[in-house]
A and B are shown apart, each in its own frame.
Chain A
Amino acid sequence: MSANFKNPVVRWIDHRLPIFTFMHHEANEYPTPKNLSYWWNFGSLAGFMLVVMMASGIFLAMQYTPHVDYAFDSVERIMRDVNYGWLLRYIHMNGASMFFIVVYIHMFRGLYFGSYKAPRELLWQIGVVILLLMMATAFMGYVLPWGQMSFWGATVITNLFSALPVVGESIVTLLWGGFSVDNPTLNRFFSLHYLLPFVLLGVVVLHVVALHRFGSNNPIGIDTKGPQDSIPFHPYYTVKDLFGLGVFMILFAYWVFYAPVTLGDPDNFIPANPLSTPQHIVPEWYFLPYYAILRSIPDKLMGVIAMFASILVLFVLPWLDRSPVRSGRYRPAFKWFFWMLVFDCAILTICGKNAPDWIWSPLSFSIGPDVGQAGVSIITMGQLATTYYFGYFLVILPLLSIFERALPVPLSISRPVLGAGGAHAAIAQRSPKPMEKL
């Protein structure tokens, strides 16, 4: 267990506090399946984004003033007068979008390759907790610049809780710290926006601990059978992650330097005004699918429940998909439904962005108010997409577990990797092999 460190100081410390042994064990020699694809880069990218967000956020907080009279101007002061303040702020606001893109890809990867299945159910659920914490943090962070969309977004979202029976109104008053979105709201949102990332960091540690219990899943979805199937994390995956990080940072830098406000709403450059409601109140893009689900249910309470259920259903996902085969590669029917889910989430995003009574004419690629063109209304589209979203988890996956005939699964990871061309011929002999349950 204990590694041999050359540096005597390191040895002295490690003997008393085995932190170097721990790091060596978990980040250096940590055995990782040798066949991980680039889809497995997104976990470390998410960790990188958390650090970027916390670092840029801490420096922004040094210049920001959480008061309704000064918040907007203090942000503009950061943009204009603080040295490289504009860079910090653009990194932070686009970083939120990048963080969500990375995490969504990370989750879709888990969905496709069955990373939520035994024995990684808890790992998956902790990940869903991370998503919820991210969403809360992002929402409260968006309120801080105190622009029009900050204010009205906060008003709309906090008001959702009033739909809850009995306690709803009290919860809203508690969130607001008063009887409308006002200075107390801004103050507590700032406080919580600073707090939650640290909670998130703690949960990320749990996520990594749970991950290291059984190690990463892999594109084939079968367990490592021995040392021939795995390679040490360092240097193989550190260097692969580094390359992925480079590609990702080029994209990130593109947003920050060349399209810093494209993902945002221009209305947030207008200071918050409780007396003037923007024509369309829309959340940031990463919340649009949930917003579409919320609006597709005519009843407010049911809409709120559906919106939260769209995330909560992920908690029970490991028990909805009973198929013994993890990887979507060997599930011919599942594959199609999975990609339709990805497409479905894109449709939900579009539905969340546009007014419910607008018409979407797919042939002319246009969405707008009803001017008599052929098409489907956004609300109908949203309802169809919502139905598929829940249908995927609650109906399709359980049924597929029963009726789908999976393709033969390879015997081990090292065979297809080492055997290059001949490997597939060798593995095709076996019938579907049930996952070993731990």
Chain B
Amino acid sequence: MSAKSLLLKGITALVGVTAVLFVAATPFHEVHVEKESWSFQGFFGKFDRPQIKRGFKVYKEVCSACHSLNLVSYRSLQDVGFSEAEVKEIAASVTVMDGPNDDGEMFERPGKPSDAFKAPFANEQAARASNNGALPPDLSLISRSRGGKGFGAYEGADYIHGVLVGYKEPPADFKLNDGMNYNIGFAGHQIAMPAPLAEDGVTYEDGTKATIEQMSRDVSVFLTWAGEPNYENRLHTGLKAMLFLIVFTLIAYAAKRKIWARIH
């Protein structure tokens, strides 16, 4: 048996193992999530900078009324197209509690780029009290914790978009609990969050028309970035790593053939 046929067998085995993982890792999902196409997908994916800016605006003017973004700091916005001055301005628009100062007093000051996004509520209890007992989840990792499972699964952005545009009139025989809203993108079709987006709910600076669909997509992309700010960095590094490894492997194969030729 030649080395080549053995190699082929090895590759077949790896493909087989992957196929097993594929089946094992593609489980049933509670809700149907429509797969959209996003600019960040694929080996050369990139976030659409104007879209992230628009998405940030939607987050700031709509979502942030209830949802925190604790793991993201204002300075990170510079990575996706905001200038230093813009970031300073955005940070300074909030007031944060700091201290204690030399007199032992807590004091308020304008936000700095190094601060994390300011949370709308001081604690979980305050958040629940203002939201009919429901807790609006932190959105820092929502795109990752709500992504589909396994191979070929939907993106977190698909899920977020599905929920945001999933508000419909409930079917006549559907029993909706008190204070709940009907949403086809949410497991069980009942969600505590009332439809957050309304047509022209924000005014985009770049003139894009703020339809629900548009705002939903924009904020889904923004939250995808927020879930993994190093995403683009990962793809770029991956490309370089792959190129290196392929060249490395070809050289190793040539060396292997040359050395083994001595005994064949």
Contacts and interface: CB of A to CB of B under 8 A. Distances in A.
Contact of A79 (B149, B228, B237): B228
Contact of A285 (B10, B21, B253, B263): B21
A367 B7 CA distance: 34
A266 B259 contact: no
Interface string A254-284: 1011111111011101100000000100000
B107 to A, nearest CB: 25
Interface string A38-55: 110100000000000000
Nearest to A249: B245
B256 A80 contact: no
A282 to B, nearest CB: 9
Given A79-B230, A86-B230, A239-B256, A257 B27 contact: no
A284 to B, nearest CB: 11
Nearest to A108: B13
Interface residues of B, number: 56
A261 B3 CA distance: 34
B17 A258 contact: no
B183 to A, nearest CB: 18
A288 interface: yes
Contacts of A39: 6, 10
A257 B7 CA distance: 25
A257 B245 CA distance: 13
A251 B14 contact: yes
B249 A246 contact: yes
A247 B248 CA distance: 9
Interface in B131-159: 140-141, 144-151, 153, 156
Interface in A238-258: 239-240, 242-243, 245-247, 249-251, 253-254, 256-258
B149 A76 contact: no
Main secondary structure of the interface of A (DSSP, over half): helix
A312 interface: no
B259 A235 contact: yes
B255 A367 contact: no
B233 A236 contact: no
Given A38-B6, A250-B246, A257 B238 contact: yes
A270 B245 contact: no
Given A231-B263, A285-B21, A353-B25, A267 B252 contact: no
B17 A76 contact: no
Contacts of A270: 141, 145
A259 B41 CA distance: 11
A39 to B, nearest CB: 7
A368 interface: yes
A190 to B, nearest CB: 22
Interface in B1-17: 1, 3, 6-7, 9-10, 13-14, 17
Contacts of A261: 144, 147
Contacts of A349: 20-21, 24
A80 B229 contact: yes
Nearest to A359: B28
Contacts of B10: 38-39, 41
A358 interface: yes
10 contacts: A37-B1, A242-B256, A246-B248, A250-B245, A250-B246, A257-B237, A260-B234, A266-B145, A269-B144, A352-B24
Given A34-B263, A39-B10, A369-B28, 17 more contacts: A37-B9, A76-B140, A105-B13, A239-B256, A245-B252, A249-B249, A253-B238, A253-B245, A262-B151, A266-B156, A269-B141, A269-B145, A346-B23, A349-B20, A350-B24, A353-B27, A354-B27
The 3 A-B pairs with the shortest beta carbon distances in the complex, nearest first, are: A257-B238, A246-B249, A368-B28
